[in-house]
Structure 1
């Protein structure tokens, strides 16, 4: 029993002794040499625990405090040295303020980056901007800081006036450069920081004309690095009213010659064939000014779907409308034309190779004979025993026994779109859309009978095959394209 009491007493004595030694150690004063030695060893080892194990002092709390105080001291000395340096003044000059504003709000540099580069806070930069917007460059000048110290003698006054003149000249020069940069961005839509020397003479002339009311012509020409003769030449052609008059007449002629069906891209291609080089923007502008607009209209299209008459075949085409040769992949469908005299239906067969309408049939009734006669005509036009794939939608015409018997008899492969999925036959749908935009919509058909309208459809398809140029065929018609490949 007494042994337990003795052991407990010894533990309490050891605890008190350890606590007392730690308190004494914590309050122990270390010399500057000991602090420097500990910090140097910490920089070398990178661990506070290793420093304490090797030196036997100090405590961790002391070491943390020494490191913190040293870092604060370094930052304070660095700030004092930077503020006293020639590149960073505690009170910046007017020129320096304007340069910082120019970099931040004209050139578009990041304000944080400029702040770190110059040493002035973002708050100061925004404050200078507010003053500049309210009172101009004069509001940024602090008279007390810019005036020299001491008595104002005659020599000092002249120095002040000279400095003031120099500052105002620099302010005007910066405003001049800013105005040029603003007009470059506004008129030419150029990016910030554009090199003025890289601009074309035409672009320089546009900037000079925009600033002539504010600055002298000689000063603008000198700044833009363009001679007066070049400026006058560009100015004359830039604002000439009759510059595009001959081209305008040619464009109107081509537009009317093609029955008002060509947009600006095809008009430009025809001009290029006549060795007339002009940009698409100018062609589009002239056509807009002269109201040369291709007439379009959206109507509900004819639908021949009548339910599941017979089993549908798979979509073997799978939206791959590219063909390596003619009569390899063919498309067919039916479209409706409604005029006051009645309704007319067109059923074509279109070649995926070049978009040529190989065979077509026109009728006033959307019956089986419309598609069957077309298929018979197409079969007898083939040579060398060709067996193409013919793709259609799921309309009733392509599921009746007469169509299926002919397809099997001629050895053609059937392919069908998904139910109600027009994109599966988009190349054929695209032909119908172009045909109606160029020939049907926007025109009056009151005095046209059915026979005349069928003649107009036949004439259009002949024109489409032989004369209508296509961008995908390098601006040639399907017939010209085949002649170029020696296929016709």
Structure 2
């Protein structure tokens, strides 16, 4: 007898084998059926190792010594007592009474179970006969797979999980075949699911890389619907992204440092916006700010933008290697030159209290163009949150660092602005792009 002991995982695996009656950490109890099969196969010349392997046992798990000793014991029992010697008689010889006194409730439960078994037996035979009539009137020639499905249906209907062997013998199929069929069916379902997931993954990747801009789950969902006419549940998209490690970097807090304090000549104006960013009037609330851009080998540039608070559309922008006042004033001039931008009658610019926006030259330019002005409270970034948010998304999605020259940087920024306004769907804009949402607001006015 082998001294090998089984782990909990090994016990679980061995228990699944239909030719195992029970398993403990120290030994295995095989079914009488398997002992008989072993003797028949062994007499044909097969080695114990071959027989055990053929019937689903892992020799490395069981141990070759245990296999040899079991075979030797069964051959001796068969030689001395025939088939009867292979039967497990431990329960009969245990000294315990074979029957115990049952209560009325237990007797009723047993009778009910027997009644279910009889019903199941009749139902199975009836179905087998009816389904086999087209093939032959006297002989049932259903495929084994059909019989397995019928047995499974009967077991579920009458709750007879412990009668699998009996129903299999009644239908003329093996118990092991029944279990193998549903194991293979489960594996086939998994293969089909894997194939479907791979197809969905390929479609999601098209949206993920659309216009060379990486996207999160919500962006992917909206891009699929807007550009590919494909609708997937948001949970499914997130599951596929997690499964195939499709990662979009999480936007980090904006590291932009506030500019130097305004001089005495500079004027701070009141906050007339009060965070009412969405006023549903295109060209009314204009948000502006400046951010740093690091590119190439330690090079630095600056980006100034003007963003529509109602539609999130970038109306004008300016890129420069200098932080001079012209960075902000030129952005205002570009806004006025943009013929596609139609400003509302009471339009105003909202910014932080940076030195550019408090300067007399900047404020004079706004008055010249008949634009109002509003400023955030000191040190309160939430008063201009949509603009700060835009810079965060921009730095995550635009390819800034690979640019080697200022011209390359400007070209990349231009491409991103086109993408952002026309192709980047946004959840809070009814899943539209900024341009689509602007047209939507203009149509409902």
Q: TM-score category by the smaller chain?
A: 0.5 to 0.7
Q: Does the C-alpha gap of structure 1 residues 223 and 338 become closer, same or farther in structure 2, counting only changes over 3 Å?
A: farther
2:379 aligns to what? 420
Q: Does the C-alpha gap of structure 1 residues 220 and 239 become closer, same or farther in structure 2, counting only changes over 3 Å?
A: farther
**1: CA distance, partners of 2:328 / 2:345:** 20
For residues 357-372 of structure 1, what are the structure 2 equivalents within 5 Å?
A: 357-372=314-329
- Contact residue 344 and residue 363 of structure 1 kept, 8 A: yes
Per-residue CA distance 1:182-218 (angstroms, 9 max, x = gap): xxxxxxxxxxxxxxxxxxxxxxxxxxxxxxxxxx945
Return the offset for 1:260. 4.5
Return the offset for 1:239. 5.9
Per-residue CA distance 1:341-360 (angstroms, 9 max, x = gap): 51111111101121000011
**2: CA distance, partners of 1:408 / 1:294:** 43
- Tell me, yes or no, if structure 1 residue 328 matches structure 2 residue 281: no
Q: Does the C-alpha gap of structure 1 residues 298 and 267 become closer, same or farther in structure 2, counting only changes over 3 Å?
A: closer
Aligned residue pairs, count = 283
Return the offset for 1:482. 3.3
2:15 aligns to what? none
2:156 aligns to what? 221
Q: Does the C-alpha gap of structure 1 residues 272 and 300 become closer, same or farther in structure 2, counting only changes over 3 Å?
A: closer
Return the offset for 1:463. 1.0
- Tell me, yes or no, if structure 1 residue 475 matches structure 2 residue 434: no
Per-residue CA distance 1:113-150 (angstroms, 9 max, x = gap): xxxxxxxxxxxxxxxxxxxxxxxxxxxxxxxxxxxxxx
Return the offset for 1:221. 2.5
DSSP 3-state at the match of 1:468 = coil
- Tell me, yes or no, if structure 1 residue 400 matches structure 2 residue 400: no
**2: CA distance, partners of 1:169 / 1:450:** 87
- Tell me, yes or no, if structure 1 residue 317 matches structure 2 residue 252: no
- Contact residue 274 and residue 383 of structure 2 kept, 8 A: yes
Per-residue CA distance 1:343-379 (angstroms, 9 max, x = gap): 1111111011210000111101111000011112213
Q: TM-score, normalised by structure 1?
A: 0.51
- Contact residue 361 and residue 370 of structure 1 kept, 8 A: yes
DSSP 3-state at the match of 2:196 = coil
Q: Does the C-alpha gap of structure 1 residues 351 and 385 become closer, same or farther in structure 2, counting only changes over 3 Å?
A: closer
Q: Does the C-alpha gap of structure 1 residues 331 and 439 become closer, same or farther in structure 2, counting only changes over 3 Å?
A: same
Q: What are structure 1's unaligned runs of at least 5 residues?
A: 1-156, 173-215
- Tell me, yes or no, if structure 1 residue 259 matches structure 2 residue 212: yes
- Contact residue 219 and residue 425 of structure 2 kept, 8 A: yes
- Tell me, yes or no, if structure 1 residue 459 matches structure 2 residue 394: no
- Contact residue 312 and residue 399 of structure 1 kept, 8 A: yes
**1: CA distance, partners of 2:377 / 2:155:** 67
Per-residue CA distance 1:248-275 (angstroms, 9 max, x = gap): 1111222122435211122223334545
- Contact residue 350 and residue 356 of structure 1 kept, 8 A: yes
**2: CA distance, partners of 1:303 / 1:324:** 31
2:396 aligns to what? 437
- Contact residue 469 and residue 475 of structure 1 kept, 8 A: yes
Which fold has the larger relative contact order, with Cα–Cα distance below 8 Å and residues 6 or more apart in sequence?
2
- Contact residue 283 and residue 344 of structure 2 kept, 8 A: no
**2: CA distance, partners of 1:407 / 1:394:** 15
Q: TM-score, normalised by structure 2?
A: 0.56
Return the offset for 1:437. 1.4
1:268 aligns to what? 221
Q: Does the C-alpha gap of structure 1 residues 299 and 365 become closer, same or farther in structure 2, counting only changes over 3 Å?
A: farther
- Contact residue 331 and residue 392 of structure 1 kept, 8 A: yes
Supply the RMSD in Å over aligned alpha carbons. 3.7
Q: Does the C-alpha gap of structure 1 residues 384 and 290 become closer, same or farther in structure 2, counting only changes over 3 Å?
A: closer
Structure holding more helix per residue: 1
Q: Does the C-alpha gap of structure 1 residues 398 and 384 become closer, same or farther in structure 2, counting only changes over 3 Å?
A: closer
1:246 aligns to what? 199
Highest Rg: 1 or 2? Answer: 1
- Contact residue 328 and residue 387 of structure 1 kept, 8 A: yes
Q: Does the C-alpha gap of structure 1 residues 435 and 311 become closer, same or farther in structure 2, counting only changes over 3 Å?
A: same
2:243 aligns to what? 289
Per-residue CA distance 1:273-301 (angstroms, 9 max, x = gap): 54544322221121122221112464763
DSSP 3-state at the match of 1:242 = helix
Q: Does the C-alpha gap of structure 1 residues 419 and 219 become closer, same or farther in structure 2, counting only changes over 3 Å?
A: farther
**1: CA distance, partners of 2:412 / 2:388:** 20
Per-residue CA distance 1:451-481 (angstroms, 9 max, x = gap): 2012111110111111111112222212233
1:161 aligns to what? 102
**2: CA distance, partners of 1:385 / 1:276:** 36
Q: Does the C-alpha gap of structure 1 residues 277 and 398 become closer, same or farther in structure 2, counting only changes over 3 Å?
A: closer
